[in-house]
Amino acid sequence: MTVTPFGTRLRAAMDSRGPLCVGIDPHAALLAQWGLQDDIAGLERFSRTVVEALAESVAVFKPQAAFFERFGSKGVAVLEKTVADARAAGTLVVMDAKRGDIGSTMAAYASAFLDPASPLFSDALTVSPYLGYGSLKPAVDLARESGAGLFVLALTSNPEGAEVQRAVREDGRTIGATMLAHLAAENADAAPMGSFGAVVGATLGDLSTFDLDINGPLLAPGIGAQGATAADLPGVFGKAVRNVVPNVSRGVLKHGPDVSALRDSARRFADEIHEAVSA
């Protein structure tokens, strides 16, 4: 059976629903803001509400695995249900787990999130390449086989990231630029868009010295609470802006648990993004 690659499915979702990605980040302070207890019941209520409110309108959900894993096996069970419900409603799921290791351990991480037989199977997974890009090969191979995708940390929005990602190699390229080049090679000849994307912060300002045109998606955290706006996207991403998947988490989630308020907030961000990237 031929599996439609993630890049093809993502492109279609972005074109039909817009590119907005909404995080599902049930941290303790946000649960309290919603009037929920920091327990499994609160976790279930939060996640179910976000999916029910937005699954039919946004292109992508990005659950942060850590906020579920902190509750142990019961929290992981809620994550499994959240992923299944979101995908059943037609929303793509990018699991934000930032896994990175070598050999059989990396293969096990890949199996957990990229094997269709796994209860945590997601459309894509965030991964860390800082044990060497080649260490990601088990995840790359399984993603290709299963029609899933990867988002590789390349130029992240946290200030600490620069000490690694902006470091210069012996060949004169930065580490971040090297990761982008690897991804461009993975996506060579893919149409309409490759399945191997980069995480590039929307808060980073002018990135014209980096080649972001990797023929793949660019997951862009930083819109909303971190200070970036939709209007910043063209200046940061240049000609690659059409492939940007802007992520908003707190900017939308703070309006819960009111379903209408969540939908209105997501719609406002989506409209602002559409206006910015279509100009």
Q: Which residues are catalytic?
A: 98
- Residue 180 near residue 214, CB atoms below 8 Å: yes
Beta strands in 41-148 (DSSP E): 60-63, 92-99, 124-127
Cα–Cα–Cα angle for 198, 166, 214, nearest 5°? Answer: 30
Residue with tokens 């209408």: 260
* DSSP letters spanning 154-205: EE-SSGGGHHHHTPBPTTS-BHHHHHHHHHHHHTTT-SS--SEEEEE-TTS-
Residue with tokens 């302070």: 29
